[in-house]
Amino acid sequence: MTSATRELTIRGLVLGALITIIFTASNVYLGLKIGLTFASSIPATVISMAVLRALGGSTILENNLVQTQASAAGTLSCVFATIPGLVMIGFWSGFPYWESFFITLLGGATGVLFTIPLRRALVTHSALPYPEGVACAEILRVASPEGNQRALQALIRGSLIAASVTFLSTGLRIIRDGWSTTLSLGPSIFRLQGAYSLALIGTGYLVGLGGGLAMLAGVLIGWGIGIPWLCLIIPHPASLSNADFATDLWVHKIRFMGAGTIAVAACWTVFSLMRPVLRGLREAFSQTHRASLEETDRDLPPLVMNLLLVALILGLGALFTLFLWPITQHDITLLIMLVLGLAACLFIGFLVASACGYMAGIIGSSSSPISGISIISVVTLCLALLGLETLHLVPEALSAHDQHSAIAYILFVLTALTGSAAISNDNLQDLKTGQLVGASPWKQEIVLLVGCVVGALVIPPVLNVLYQAYGFGSSLPRPGMDPSHALAAPQPALMADIARGILLRNLDWTMILIGAFVGIGLIAIDRLLQIRNLALPPLAVGMGIYLPPDVSVTIALGSVIAFFFDRTAHNASHGDDSTGTMIASGFIVGESLIGVVIAMLSGMTGHTDLLALPVSMQFQNLAGAGIFALCLVWFAMTLRRASRPT
């Protein structure tokens, strides 16, 4: 293999695996501690680029495959949102290695398989912006020997500025990482909120005005209508401030409304994409069609995909059987539970993969609401189980002891679905990067599968180490441990609570149903707007309701800055090497890299405030607002100068 064509290499696979171990461990720790993770595509791109350049003879395609593998494995860590629930409800006393390994691996591998036909519908034949995929491609391009030096300088400027701001806010803690203003009108509470995040500003630039305003519309629905209305009908506890009460309503009410909106909008989106998705399926499984394509448009051979599908079905079937065998009677009901698990992974999994891929195409992987998709999945699974229970088709042992074993089985199946959703969410970004740099999709799909294997190898021991060291929530492995040091594990606790509430028939469905009706209304509005060549993507609005308001507001701000200050922003692509695209990509790169460093330090020391300096709150507020405003002014003026006709 010559240097000019080097792409899939042994050294690349080894490097991808090493990067994987670091990113996966850091992501699992952060996810269990604060409920958030960092996107690994861009940091993996930068690290692989530096290492391969030092080794010599690297190519843009080899760099691309390393970041593809590493980002896939890092993303698989999103199973932290479900599998720890099995320990927290007392079903497991630890994380049995092989069960944890295989459910993570097989769930991730189904996500890879699903993204193959989805690539044609959502990447090849789609105008979705894929902000992080575009940013990765720009990094690879400008860092290559043939790269545009002016574009590289813009990328570096954006990276350094964002890295500096992030280090000041999340590292040294001498400036605030966001702003918030709470207002009241009688009993109603309103909040304006934003983040001092240049990465989100960059994402907004790449997303464009339509997606940014749609997310802002979601914020207005949630915080301008939903929260004030709930304040009128729900008593305000005297122990909570206005800000805390509004946050509590958002966490326990509005997010469920957002999940309902996302569910309806996701189903509508998948229905709208049905024709290109079916075409993608036909093309992906047609050897004749594959033979007629160029190397840069070929997926894995149909025979390989068929064998992979059979292996996944057999593997998941065996895994679910082994999970159920010790706790249920061995009759037809066990077979029905097995079919339920497989149907969920194949059919619900494909629906979830399509929705997640589309959401990643709109706003990127970092801000895509995987936990919202997990809520939709757990609700669907529990409703299916309740339906079977009504027909007396559920093993009695699963229903005993307040549905304890049934909740455990739901969480186990949900782990596979979460892995599939997370991988689909990230993989389409990687495949977009590959399309932009001329990579071979089938080679990317191979390293995506390798990434799933490596990630699945790492996750179980990391979970066991963290559980033994800290404990999760109120679940502590040993007596005498300090519960205040336990990792909060908010998502697993939420998934277990939802499953318990549905199966015991005491879950409040009000907000989910309201969200579903909001989704239906948004679909109707979007259809009417399309008559005038306008759009209000229902899924983007649903994400605006569900995501923290500072994320959506800041993304919208970035899209508005691009619209008013950059002439090229009126085109969806912004121009491949435009100054705006490179600075926006640099914003994402700089913040991501500092996020990785801080996450690694937190994971090694067990402290998230290791570098924090003692600074007054007033100074933090003024410095944060001032520095962020200066950065926005600089960005806007740079865009205006760069987009002027020469």
Task: Answer yes or no: is 341 within a domain.
Answer: yes
Task: Answer yes or no: is 644 within a domain.
Answer: no
Give the HSE-up count for residue 295: Cα atoms under 13 Å, Cβ half-sphere: 8
DSSP code, position 478? S
Which token pair is 106?
Answer: 């097989």
Rounded Cα–Cα distance for residues 503 and 143 (Å): 54
Which token pair is 542?
Answer: 């649903």
Rounded Cα–Cα distance for residues 322 and 99 (Å): 9
Task: State the pLDDT at residue 573.
Answer: 43
- CA nearest to 393, candidates 324, 328, 332: 332
Rounded Cα–Cα distance for residues 64 and 140 (Å): 7
Tell me the pTM.
0.76
Total tally of structural domains belonging to the chain: 1
Task: State the pLDDT at residue 496.
Answer: 85
CB 620 within 8 A of CB 176: yes
Rounded Cα–Cα distance for residues 107 and 439 (Å): 25
CA 120, 126, 130, 133 torsion-angle sign: positive
Element of type H or E holding 592: helix 579-605
Query: What is the radius of gyration, based on Cα positions, of the chain?
Result: 24
Residue with tokens 């042992």: 397
Task: State the pLDDT at residue 75.
Answer: 74
Q: What residues of the chain score a pLDDT lower than 70?
A: 1-5, 22, 26, 30-31, 33-43, 73-74, 143-149, 151-152, 280-281, 283-293, 295, 363-370, 482, 484-485, 488, 567-578, 592, 596, 599-600, 602-609, 645-646
Task: Answer yes or no: is 541 within a domain.
Answer: no
Element of type H or E holding 97: helix 97-119
CA 16, 17, 23, 24 torsion-angle sign: positive
Task: Answer yes or no: is 331 within a domain.
Answer: yes
Which whole-number Å values give the CA distances from 74 to 180, 229, 336, 339, 590, in the listed order? Answer: 31, 40, 34, 30, 18
Please give the single-letter amino acid code of residue 573: S
Task: Answer yes or no: is 209 within a domain.
Answer: no
Task: Answer yes or no: is 586 within a domain.
Answer: no
Please give the single-letter amino acid code of residue 329: Q
- CA nearest to 221, candidates 571, 511, 626, 639: 511
Residues in the chain: 646
Task: State the pLDDT at residue 52.
Answer: 78
Task: State the pLDDT at residue 548.
Answer: 82
Task: State the pLDDT at residue 491.
Answer: 77
Rounded Cα–Cα distance for residues 481 and 472 (Å): 11
Task: Answer yes or no: is 630 within a domain.
Answer: no
Residues spanned by the domain of 434: 10-146+274-282+298-503
Which token pair is 626?
Answer: 């001032």
Rounded Cα–Cα distance for residues 59 and 212 (Å): 35
Task: Answer yes or no: is 210 within a domain.
Answer: no
Task: State the pLDDT at residue 625.
Answer: 92
Rounded Cα–Cα distance for residues 306 and 284 (Å): 11
